[in-house]
Amino acid sequence: MTTDSHHGVRQYVHPLPNGMTLLAEQTAALQSVSVLLMLPGGTGYDAAGMAGAATLHVEWTTRGAGGRDARALTQAFDLMGVQRSSWADVTFGAYRATLLSEHLAPTLALYADMIQRPHLDDAELEGARELCLQQLQALEDEPAQRLSVLIKERYFGFPRGRCSLGTRAEVEALTPAVLRADGLERYGTQGAYIVVAGNFDWPRLKAQVEELFGGWHKATRPAPADQPAPRGYVHLPHPAEQVHIGLAWDAPAERTPQSHLHQVGTQVLSGGMAARLFAEVREKRGLCYSVYAGYQSYLDQGFMMGYSATTPERAQQTLDQFIHETMRLNEGVTAAELDRALVGIKSRIIMQGESAAARVSALAYDYYHYQRLRSLAEVRQHYQQITLDELNTWLAGQKAGPFTVVTVGPEPLVVNT
């Protein structure tokens, strides 16, 4: 257990014998609590020809579990005012809920049923499948969303870069028996997290989690090996009066010492209306409607994703200026830019501490990358210690790129670096 007595926050890490880990941050000032359950076996574990299986399976498990059918399960959550969501990302199948602290125990019991004793009725699968197909259709109708899918496919390759929704043909081909068997093989307890943030009683929480989940022992199916990514440039023709531009490039992984320096540089590049991309590309030159870039990281790989929307006439200049501003970071930043970046990061950290839902995600992220929990004070202090000389020395040794670029619009562009 770690304690931040000044802020009334206590953190706990409790490994279960079955390989699951309970992570918790207790904040007495909050009246709510947020729960996040993460099971290894996300979209990166989809077998060849079964893209979309992880997303479909997660949705299927929410449609009846334990002694409740789909309607009764929904009513049980609604009667307690639980705000919930579920999804599959590359690594995990995930379930999140935010609720009043008094309803924590019965909510955990419902999730224990959903994860360990889902009904997986054949009839309920069709509703889950239809929802997935509708989301796929929405992607086809929205060029910006199509770009976001394609840029990940190009940058990451198989299986990490596949669309979480899969493809229409593969989703339609998934039978109840095949998907049920796949789910049994996919999810396990080793490396799974149960994360709780907010106001709760730690001894009671620990005992309940051990009772509900401690007897569940199950292996996780290994993920398929990553295949080489195509990367480079690709254009998707689309007859519209708007061009969508996506860029991706390498960055330090979160757990490397340089990642925090990189994230400060990212804040200078695209951390608000005073940041370089917005100020130079949109405001000063009037080249585009929207422009931004953001940092993300998997366990072994950090990366940047950028986006801009503009007109066909300004598309080439927008792409050129986007790349120019990104590469210009290695020339260094000013003291004023560093100050603005640190204020923006500090504000984000403070606001994160006022939300149980934000904290539960941050705790899971920290433990996944660092195998420990970090307090808000520790994270804030880490950034505050960064000096201008330290940042500029590191940036001078960096060069953004090579860039993976995807454009959606009437005509292809040229990638000039």
Summarize pLDDT for 191-243 with one digit per residue, the tens: 999 999 999 999 999 999 999 999 998 887 888 888 999 999 999 999 888 99
The secondary structure element, H or E, covering residue 32 is strand 32-40
Query: SS3 of 191, please?
Result: coil
pLDDT value of position 4: 53
Residues with pLDDT less than 50, the chain: 5-6
The secondary structure element, H or E, covering residue 112 is helix 104-116
Please check whether residues 176 and 107 belong to one and the same domain. Answer: yes
In a domain, 180, yes or no: yes
In a domain, 64, yes or no: yes
pLDDT value of position 5: 44
Q: List, edge to edge, every strand of the sheet that includes 243-251.
A: 233-237, 404-409, 243-251, 302-310, 288-297
Rounded CA gap, 152 and 145, in Å? 11
Please check whether residues 37 and 117 belong to one and the same domain. Answer: yes
Last residue within a domain, chosen from 179, 213, 247: 213
112 bridge partner residues: none
Please check whether residues 203 and 237 belong to one and the same domain. Answer: no
pLDDT value of position 1: 60
Rounded CA gap, 18 and 97, in Å? 23
Please check whether residues 102 and 13 belong to one and the same domain. Answer: yes
Retrieve residue 161's tokens. Answer: 């870069």
Last residue within a domain, chosen from 149, 181, 213: 213
pTM of the model: 0.92
Query: SS3 of 69, please?
Result: coil
Rounded CA gap, 278 and 232, in Å? 25
Rounded CA gap, 349 and 169, in Å? 43
pLDDT value of position 7: 59
Which of 43, 60, 62, 61 is CA-nearest to residue 52? 43
The gap from C-alpha 391 to its chain's centroid, in whole angstroms, comes to: 26
How many residues comprise the chain?
Answer: 417
Please check whether residues 243 and 380 belong to one and the same domain. Answer: yes
C-alpha to C-alpha distances, 14 to 22, 33, 194, 214, 372, nearest whole angstrom: 5, 18, 10, 12, 11
Please check whether residues 147 and 243 belong to one and the same domain. Answer: no
The gap from C-alpha 376 to its chain's centroid, in whole angstroms, comes to: 20
pLDDT value of position 6: 44
Please check whether residues 118 and 190 belong to one and the same domain. Answer: yes
In this structure, what DSSP letter does residue 68 have? B
The gap from C-alpha 304 to its chain's centroid, in whole angstroms, comes to: 13
In a domain, 222, yes or no: no
pLDDT value of position 80: 98
**Tally of domains within the chain:** 2
In a domain, 417, yes or no: no
Q: Give phi and psi for 68, each to the nearest 5.
A: -120, 135
Please check whether residues 159 and 264 belong to one and the same domain. Answer: no
pLDDT value of position 193: 96
In this structure, what DSSP letter does residue 65 have? B
Last residue within a domain, chosen from 213, 248, 269: 213
In a domain, 242, yes or no: yes
In a domain, 221, yes or no: no
In a domain, 416, yes or no: no
Retrieve residue 247's tokens. Answer: 């860029």
Rounded CA gap, 356 and 351, in Å? 10
The secondary structure element, H or E, covering residue 2 is strand 2-4
Q: Exposure of 194 by Cβ count < 10 A (0-12 exposed, 13-18 middle, 19+ buried)? A: buried
Q: What is the widest separation between alpha-carbon atoms in the chain?
A: 63
pLDDT value of position 223: 83
Retrieve residue 246's tokens. Answer: 């996506």
pLDDT value of position 217: 87
Please check whether residues 271 and 395 belong to one and the same domain. Answer: yes
Domain housing 183: 2-213
Please check whether residues 62 and 151 belong to one and the same domain. Answer: yes
Show Cβ contacts of residue 24 under 8 Å, excluding neighbours closer than 6 positions. Answer: 11, 12, 14, 195, 196, 197, 200, 202, 205
In a domain, 227, yes or no: no
Please check whether residues 192 and 240 belong to one and the same domain. Answer: no
pLDDT value of position 140: 86
Please check whether residues 137 and 65 belong to one and the same domain. Answer: yes
For residues 410 and 143, the answer to whether their CB atoms sit within 8 Å is: no
For residues 25 and 16, the answer to whether their CB atoms sit within 8 Å is: no
Q: What is the CATH number of the domain that holds 101?
A: 3.30.830.10
Give the CA angle between residues 152, 364, 340 to the nearest 5°.
75
Rounded CA gap, 9 and 304, in Å? 33
